[in-house]
Amino acid sequence: MVTTRFAPSPTGRLHVGNIRTALHNWMLAQEEGGEFILRIDDTDAERSKEEYVDAIRADLKWLSLNWTREERQSTRLDAYESAFQSLRDAGRIYPAYETSQELELKRKVQLGRGLPPIYDRGALAMTDEQRAAKEAEGIQPHWRFKLDHDEAIEWVDGVRGNTKFDAKLLSDPVIRRADGSWLYMLPSTIDDVDMGVTQVLRGEDHVSNTAVQIQMFTAMGATPPKFAHEALLVGKEGKLSKRLGSLGCDAFREKDIEPTAIIALLARLGTSLPVEPIADRATLLETFDLGTFGRAPAKFDDADLERINTAIVHAMPYDAVKDRLPEGMDEAGWHAVQPNISTVGEVTEWWRLVTGPIESCEFSDEDKAYLAQAAETLTWGDDPWGALTSALKEATGRKGKPLFLPLRQALTGMNHGPDMGELLPLIGEAEAKVRLEKAAK
C-alpha cells in the first residue's frame, strides 16, 4: 500500500509552498487508495508551539486534506535514542567538538583553496584522551552520521529521473546537538521506516538530504522509500519571493478564496497540465502523474488564483453556498447575482440591491418624466422587466442605453450589475414602484 506523509514543523503557520507539498502527498496516496500521514515534527521543543499544531490541523481540514493518522515526533524520543545507540555501536555515528566559529573558519580555508566546503572529519582523528580533555573543559560533543564514501548514492527520482551523488562531496551531517536535541535528518529517517512510508514527495531543496538519508536507511538495514523532488514555487516576477513564505490559509480566507480554487491551482502548478478551474477532485486525481511535473520553478501568481476562484464561484450550485448567503437570499437570488461576483463574500453587497437601501442618482427632467411613466406602466407577470421595457420602448421610442440605464439606476442605484430580468422579480412589484416614483421626483 502506498503510504505518504506530510511532516511540518509547528514553528509557524503553513504557507503556500507547504500547502502544495501537503496536497501532492495527499493526491499521491489518494490515487492509489493508500495512506496519508500527518507527522508533526516537533522535536524542537523551544520553537514548537501547540497553537501552530492546531493551526496546521485547521488549515488542512479547511482544504479537506484529511489524513489517515497523525504522528508526533515528541512522543517517539525513545525510538530515536535506540536507533542512535545502534548506529553509534556500528561506528556510523561519532562525536565532534568543533564550535560553529571553528567550522566556519575551516569552510573559509577550504573555499580559499578551491575545495568543496565540506566537513573534514577532524573529529575522527581525535584520541580518547583528546575527547576526554574536551569534555573535562565542559565542551559537550555534537554528533555526526558517518557517510560511507565507498557506497554509491543513486536513485530514480519521480521527477528528476536518475539521480546520483558522490558521498565524498557531502559533509557528514550533524544529527544531534550538544544539548541532546535532534536535528531533522535521523528522526525523519527513523519515522519513515517505522511508519512504513513508501513515497517521499518534497521540494527539490531536499535533494542532498535525500542522498544522505538513503545511506541512513541502508545503515539501519531498511529499504529506502521512493523519492520525488518537485520544483520550488517562485513569485510571478520569477524570483524566490519572501512573500510566498507568509502567504497561507489566513491570507486566502481574508480574500475569500475558495479552498477548491487553491486546490485546483496548486494541484497542477509546475506540471505540463493546464491549470483550470476544476472543482471536482476526482478529475484532478485522475490526471495526477509525477511524470507531468517539470524541473523549472513553478510560478505562483495571485491573478491566476483569483481567475480560477471567480470561475469556480460562477459554477457553484446554490446548495453549496446556501449556508453562507445573507438572510432571505434564496436560489433565485443566488442565480441573479452569481455572474457578477468573484467571491462568495461579495454577495452581501449585491443583495443590498434587493433589500435596500440603494444609492440615489441624479436624473435629468426628461429622465424623471420617463421614470414617472415607467412607474405607471409597471405591471407584474412572469417577466416584469421584459414587459416594462417593451411597453416603454413602444411608448417612448427609446432603445438601448437611454431605455435601460435610467431604469437600472432608479431601481438599483448603480450603472451596472445583475441581469435586471432576474433582479426585478426579487425586488418585488411594490418596492420597484416606490423606487421608480422616488427617482421621478
Tell me what pLDDT residue 272 has: 97
Report the side by side order of strands in the sheet with 3-6: 3-6, 35-40, 69-72
* Residue 264 amino acid letter: A
Among 58, 51, 55, 14, which Cα is nearest to 266's?
14
* Residue 275 amino acid letter: V
Is 299 within any annotated ligand binding site? Answer: no
**Quick one: average pLDDT of 318-332?**
96
Nearest-5° angle of CA 101, CA 102, CA 107? 95
- Give the C-alpha distances (Å, rounded to integers) separating 67 from 5, 7, 37: 9, 12, 6
pLDDT, mean over the chain: 96
pLDDT confidence bin for 193, thresholds 50/70/90: very high
Over residues 261-280, the pLDDT tens digits come to 999 999 999 999 999 999 99
**CB crowding 270-288: b at 16 or more within 10 Å, else e:** bbeeebebbbebeebeeeb
Whole-prediction pTM value?
Answer: 0.91
Over residues 383-428, the pLDDT tens digits come to 999 999 999 999 999 999 999 999 999 999 999 999 999 999 999 9
**Quick one: average pLDDT of 131-135?**
95
Strand partners, 234: 299
Backbone angles phi and psi of 31, in degrees to 5:
-65, -20
- Ordered structural domains, the chain, with CATH: 1-70+231-315 (3.40.50.620), 80-176 (3.90.800.10), 355-439 (1.10.10.350)
